[in-house]
Structure 1
Amino acid sequence: MSTVDAAIFATHLLFAGLWSGSVLFTTYAVLPTAMDGDTRPGPLSAITGKLQTVSRASALLLFVTGGHLAATRYTTESLTGTGRGHLVVTMVVLWFALAGLVEVGASKLADGFAQKKVREPARNARPFLLGASLVAVLLLVNAGAILGLYY
């Protein structure tokens, strides 16, 4: 593996972990606090903005780095005709699902916080962030399976 490939791989893993961890933390720690009404919209709005920034930046970086990794390691036939290739395609589908679920969930939070509400937006965002958390875990499991088949 070249130095460039190692840097791309490390960046890919770093942002996958950051994105997944941000979603899981928001769902586990921030959302229940908001649902209990134990905080004000201002700080929650800042946290939601950071989640959106991390999500969007990670989605972009994973697209670029994952595209490079796929282009240098796979052919169309290996993506569609092998178990490892199917895992890579599954990862792309899960990646789109995670991006969509986080965008919808964070948007529901931000819209409610802008109206100075806390509990209702948290309840409205909950199904989307729970779904995003599930997808984040599935992405990490999928990545482990891909690495397990690679090495």
Structure 2
Amino acid sequence: MIDLVLARMTHLLVAAIWAGSVCYVALSVVPAARDGVFTTTDPLYTLLRTLKRISRVSSLVLLLTGGHLAGRIYTSESLVSTTNGQLVVLMTLLWLVLTALVEIAASRFETGLDAKQLREPARDSLFLFRAAALVSLALLLVAGAISANAATLL
């Protein structure tokens, strides 16, 4: 029982850190780069490396804790036949989408930075970062619905 509590707490904490990081970059860093606030690529490289590290570690931790939780709470049948199980499946799909969006957006941005450009790569990757921010918020909403057992409220 204590393993479920610790897994849930870790899962939600890591998800919140990941979502917050993605939202910060999408809503603050990339628009600032697009608007010419940065005069050099160095801080952007550092921020993108940090975001990718947070994203990769978070993806792994969420896979492990989420897999543990799903394995202890659900059967393969209940994952598709119950509302909470379907929310877990939805969360897994959103997790995959968020991981891909962060990797693609950061890679596009870094490619532009490698060409010693600042504004254009920020402008070109902004849509992907904003999409990642929306997906991260959707993930938190789904996690909240599962944690609150919202299925019983319907």
TM-score past 0.5 threshold: yes
Tell me how far apart the structure 2 counterparts of residues 79 and 66 of structure 1 sit (CA, whole Å).
Answer: 13
* % identical equivalent positions: 43
Asked if 2 retains the 8 angstrom alpha-carbon contact of 1:42 and 1:113, the reply is: no
With the length of structure 2 as denominator, give the TM-score of the two structures. Answer: 0.93
Alignment-mate amino acid for residue 32 of structure 2: T
Give the unaligned 5+ runs of structure 2.
Answer: none
- SS of the residue aligned with 1:38? coil
Tell me how far apart the structure 2 counterparts of residues 74 and 108 of structure 1 sit (CA, whole Å).
Answer: 38
Report deviation, 1:122: 0.5
Q: How does 1:14-29 map to 2 (within 5 A)?
A: 14-29=13-28
Report deviation, 1:7: 2.2
- SS of the residue aligned with 2:149? helix
Q: In the alignment, what sits opposite 2:127?
A: 127
Point out the more displaced range, 51-60 or 9-18. 9-18
Q: In the alignment, what sits opposite 2:11?
A: 12
Q: How does 1:1-151 map to 2 (within 5 A)?
A: 1-2=1-2, 4-39=3-38, 40-149=40-149
Tell me how far apart the structure 2 counterparts of residues 37 and 131 of structure 1 sit (CA, whole Å).
Answer: 22
CA RMSD of aligned residues (A): 1.2
Alignment-mate amino acid for residue 35 of structure 1: R
Asked if 2 retains the 8 angstrom alpha-carbon contact of 1:109 and 1:121, the reply is: yes
Q: Deviations over 1:35-94 (max 9, x none)?
A: 011102110110000000000000011001100000000001110101111100000000
Report deviation, 1:6: 2.3
With the length of structure 1 as denominator, give the TM-score of the two structures. Answer: 0.95
Alignment-mate amino acid for residue 101 of structure 1: L
- SS of the residue aligned with 2:116? coil
